[in-house]
Structure formats: structure tokens, C-alpha cells
Chain A
Amino acid sequence: MGVAAARTRVPQLRVRLRQPSQETDALARLACWAGRFTPRLSLAPPDALLLEVGGCLRLFGGLPAILDRLAGELAAQGFSATHAVAATPQAALWFAMQMPGVRCDTPAATRQALDHLPSEVLPAEIARTLHRFGLRRLGAARCLPRAALAQRIGREAIQTLARAYGELPDLRTDFAFPARFAQSLELPSAVENAGALLFAARRLTAALAGWLAVRKAGIAACCLHLRHRQGSTPLTLAFAGATRDPPRFERVLRERLQRHVLAAPVEALRLEAGTVADLAEENGTLFAQPGDSRHAMAALLERLRARLGEARVFTLAMAPDHRPECATRRGAAGTADVTPPVRRPFWLLAIPRRLDEIGGRPHDRGALRLLSGPERIESGWWDDGEAAGDLRRDYFIALTPDQRWLWIFREARLAGDWYLHGFFA
């Protein structure tokens, strides 16, 4: 019926235009996602996917387990799908359309179920012809002599039936996973809240995880582009190590999106994978090994970085510099063979604090007692910088009246001001 007739029946009908290109994209994305389950799958456009699961049943623990996971992940992405299992691809397609949920593990069970299918599964012309003969079920059509039926409905239909029943091989082209991962997703309406993008981005991250699983690879970084009406904002997601774990993608993405303020409403998303590195499957261990803590720590640091920012979460390394300000380097790269100097304070002030000098002694809430020193540190003649440039200082270890241990210095050039530089603990 036409749109006008439909509107008279249901006045509050909302009509949307079909977007065939978006449907093709969505099917390709789902095919990438399904790569997590099996590398052999093929598209049956416009809206069906065929997955060959015979080889991976044991990996996933049986047919009910794999079907549950498929249904769960599809629902999480927001798709409603019907499924069916059969011994041949064509039969599985027909079952999914007409008898959803059926599971025929063996060829015999498939043939039996096929017999009960109505003839509507065949193209409309052929179905009408079969109806005229009174053949409402495929089983009835199969009882007739093959050659005579072929003359009436065509060899094409006979071959389709034969392929469904398993008498002829059904060759489907395997889905070719793209060489580079770059998938776009159009949002149904402009989104203003960054947190709401998470649901849509989940489809993209699921596809990315499946694509990586097929290649047995992982990524350490990927880029999510938020496209506005004019321009786009790139969001880089970084991971502690190469990974293809969907929950980790989601976690980092969620923290990142919560921290991000949208410059303009977002109309589309695009996810591009960074450099792909080989990542073998990890063998499960029987007992927890110390190496596990490394992964757990990397995952924790990744989450903290995603929420607090890269600059706020760091590790320390020693740098071979005598100037105390320059002796600590952030980040993992550090010279392993630097001998730490003795008697350095645990905490260093970023900017040394000037101390009052009363009666020739430095004061910090009381007169300080100098217990060790002076230690002359002179370095950095080559550095023209202002803060940590050429240093010439005499350092002392001092004790406050309330028993706190400080590290103070006095500039050697212009004799005078005392400065507090650090605390022992």
C-alpha cells in the first residue's frame, strides 16, 4: 500500500527514507564484528550475514553458548536480529526469515525442516506458479519429477532447491576484510552530549575488535573523528599495550568522552585504527603469575590516564644530571646505570621557596639547624635557560624546631638568600 493509505490507517505513523548506502555500511560493519567468532563469513545483502561456525563450536563451548553471545552482542549494539542454524547456507537464510530460532545441526534435520517451509521463500513468480499447482510446501515440490518441474519453474529454481537440500555445493564468496580499518557511522540526529556518543561508538569499536581478531593483531592507539556540520574533531585513544579487547576500548572511550566537551553537535563518527601490531592469543594460565600484575597495572594506568589526562599519570626515571631539578625525568625511558647520589630529599619543590634569614640563620617557622653541608652542586654551564640554568649552590641538610628535615641551599655567587628546595621523609 502507499504511504498515504498507511497514514490513513495509522495517523501517527512516522515515515523515514531508506538509506541503502548506510545499510550496506552497517552490514559491512557487522561483518567485521562477526570476525571475532569466525573468519569465514559472507554477506547476503541487504540484511543478512552467513557465519560458518562449524569450526569454532568447540572454542566457544557449543552451539547454545555461541548463539547466546551473538544475540547478546547484537542487542548491545542496538540491532534486533533473528537467527537460525542449518547445515547449508541457503537453508539457514530461509529459516532465519521464516522460522527464526530453529537449529538443525545435521543434514537430515535440515532436510526435514526444509520440507515444511512454505514456497514463498522462492522468488515471487515461482512461488505463484507452485501455488497454482497446489504446492504450498517445499516438501511437496520435491516429490515431483525433477525434469518436468524444471521445465515449468526453470533450472535456476531447481538448482537453488538442490543447494538448499545439500545436493549441490553452495559456494559463497567469503567476506573480504578491509586492509585498513576506517569505518564511518552516520548518527540519526545531531548529538550534543559527549556521553551519548558512547552507544553509537560501540558499534564501531565492536567492528574494530572483530577486524583485529581476524588478523590476530592489536592496536596501541586509534582515532575517533567526531564530524560536525563544519569540520571534525579527532579524539585519540591510547592504550597501554597492543590490545583488541572490546571492554578495554569501551572503558577508555567512556573516560575520554566524559572528559570531552563538544565544540559543536556531532553528526557522524569515524573510527580509524592506528598502527596494527601482531598480538598472539594469550594462553590461559592455571595459577596467577607475576606477569599478570603487569597487565593489570597497565590497564589501571590506562584508565587513570584516560580520565585524568596523560600528564597526570607518570612513572619516574633518573636522569644523569647533577642539577636536582633536572635529575628526575617523567616517563619510562631512563638510564639504567645512573648511580643515585646519596642524601637526596624525597620531595622536591618545583620552585625553591625563599627563606627569611634572621640573625645569620635561615628560618622556616623557627630557626633552622644546619646539620650537614655544604654540598656544592655546580653544573649546567652549557644551559642558557632561566630556571635550571647554570647552578652554583651550596646545599645543607637542616632540621626545624619541630623535627622536620629539610634540604636548603644558598646561592654561592651572590651570597645571601636561603632557599628551601626539598623535604626528607
Chain B
Amino acid sequence: MSALAKDLSEVLARPDIWRGDRLVDAPIPGVPSGFASLDAHLSGGGWPRGALIEVLLDGVGLGELSLLLPTLARIKEEGGWTLLVAPPHEPHAPAWAAAGVDLARLAVVSPVRPADTLWAMEQALLSGAPEAVLSWAEQIDPRQLRRLQVAAADGSALAFLFRPARAAQESSVAPLRLRLSSGHEGALTIHILKRRGPPLHAPLHLILPRPARWRSHESSAPLAGVGVSASAAGSPRRSVVA
């Protein structure tokens, strides 16, 4: 009988019990995302390891990668590998290098068929070799999601899955689901659809580093070329008007 008479608080402190009023203490601390306001609302204080993280958005270029860049830079410091599975377009190496990603530890898998995309992601998660797997999938059904979650849970990698925003209405087994949209004054708006803890109703607004300075009331730069410079082959001198 003494084994059964456990303190209720001990039972409630287990990581696999989700309470409606507070965030779960994750058994493994999460990877800080680089944005304190986001980390405060995630259990474990960051991106959860060994779990599928769904990022839902429409289109490319909202800032979804800028959201992950601090994490990728941290992975570079630790010497881990990053794998991109079925990226939407060709990765442009100079941009990735300038953003702080180690090109020597970045691999890209670009399959033709969607079934191969899911297979590649599952293999990458099962192998445990890459520290982060970023994958893009248009169509994926709940059974395949469950397989990916099981594969992710076996290891301790960061598994990001980018999906179109209409998938927000579907149910998913991923423990963390975010929906990104554009916000006010160039900020990125994040709706946390699902997390290990109580639902978050108010969206978060993150200020991300953007390629150019921008104010909503400014008009666009003149179209006529200003500061044009001729360039010789091999060593162009460019002037950039911001």
C-alpha cells in the first residue's frame, strides 16, 4: 500500500502529464531560439529536442528561416550537422554562409517524389546524425506525421517541418505547432497553435533582422539608378543604396 500512497504533487511533476494551467517541465532542456519572448512561452525554455515542430506558413520569405537562424548558428558552434530536406528552392550558398551557418556541415536532400521526402526525413531522424533537420512538405497525412514523430522521439535532434498554413485546421500529433504570418511594422506574428502546456491565445510579435530597413510610412526608393558604377570582370565595385 505504501507504494500507492504517493504524494499527488510527485505524480503531477512527471513530464508526461500535461496540466491545463502551466507549462510542462521538459525532461531535456530545450534549445534557446534566440528570442526571449518566444522561449518564455515554450516548455523547456526553447525548441524541444526529440519532437516534431510544425511551422505553418503560406509562401516563402516571411521570415521563417530568420526565426531559426540563431538556432542554426548555435549548432555551428557545437559542430553539428544540419540537413535540409526538399527545400522549396535552390539554397543560395553565400546567403547561408553570411547568416552564420557552417557550409561544411550543411547537407541538402532534394528528392523528386513526396514519398521520398518523408522517407528521407524519417531516415535522418532515425540515424540521429544531424542536429537539425529542416523539411518542407506540401501534403502529409496524420499517419505519416505519427511516423515522423516516433522517429524524432527516438533521438534528440531538432525536427522542423514546414507546411502550408491551411494545415492549421488538421489535427497533428506534433507536440509544438506554430503558425507564422506577417505582423505590424515588419514584425513576424507567431500563433502557437499547440504546445506542451495551456494553449496560448494571444499571438507573439517578434522583431526579426530584415534585409533592409523599412518604415511603413516611407515611400519606396526611386527607381532611377543612383550610384551606378561600372565594374571590371573579377573585381566589381558596387554601391548599394539603402
Contacts and interface: CB of A to CB of B under 8 A. Distances in A.
Interface of A: 290, 293, 296-297, 299-301, 303-304, 307-308, 312-319, 322, 324, 327-329, 332, 334, 338, 340-350, 360-361, 369-382, 394, 396-397, 399-400, 402-406, 412, 422-425
11 contacts: A300-B127, A303-B123, A308-B116, A328-B94, A334-B103, A345-B92, A373-B241, A375-B240, A403-B62, A425-B64, A425-B66
B189 to A, nearest CB: 10
Contacts of B38: none
A246 B97 CA distance: 37
B11 to A, nearest CB: 34
A317 B103 contact: yes
Contacts of A361: 220, 223
Contacts of B233: 379-382
Nearest to B89: A347
B186 interface: yes
B89 A375 contact: no
A343 B79 CA distance: 25
Given A316-B103, A334-B103, A422 B109 contact: no
A347 B242 contact: no
Contact of A296 (B66, B128, B225): B128
B106 A315 contact: yes
Interface stretch (B13-21, B139-147, B210-218): B210-218
Interface in B65-122: 65-66, 79-81, 87-99, 103-104, 106-112, 116, 119-120
Nearest to A318: B93
B8 interface: no
A377 B236 contact: yes
A369 to B, nearest CB: 4
B106 A312 contact: no
Given A370-B220, A402-B59, A425-B61, A312 B214 contact: no
Contact of B231 (A315, A378, A405): A378
Contacts, number: 207
A313 B107 contact: yes
B221 A373 contact: yes
B228 interface: yes
Interface of B: 59-66, 79-81, 87-99, 103-104, 106-112, 116, 119-120, 123-124, 127-130, 182-183, 186, 210-214, 220-221, 223, 225-226, 228-231, 233-234, 236, 238-242
Given A293-B129, A312-B111, A316-B108, A397 B211 contact: yes
Contacts of B93: 316-319, 327-329, 334, 340
Contact of B107 (A297, A307, A341, A375): A297
Contact of B129 (A299, A313, A405, A412): A299
Given A322-B236, A328-B92, A344-B92, A403 B186 contact: yes
A394 B229 CA distance: 11
Nearest to A423: B61
B111 A345 contact: no
B91 A397 contact: no
Contacts of A346: 65, 91-92, 95-96, 99
A357 B178 CA distance: 35
Nearest to B230: A378
Contacts of B120: 304, 308
Residue from B64, B111, B211 having most chain A Cβ neighbours under 10 A:
B211
Given A324-B92, A404-B59, A376 B231 contact: yes
Nearest to A344: B95
A313 B119 contact: no
Contacts of B124: 300, 304
Contact of A341 (B64, B94, B183, B225): B94
Given A299-B129, A312-B111, A374-B241, A340 B80 contact: no
Given A303-B123, A304-B109, A349-B89, A371 B95 contact: no
A382 B99 CA distance: 31
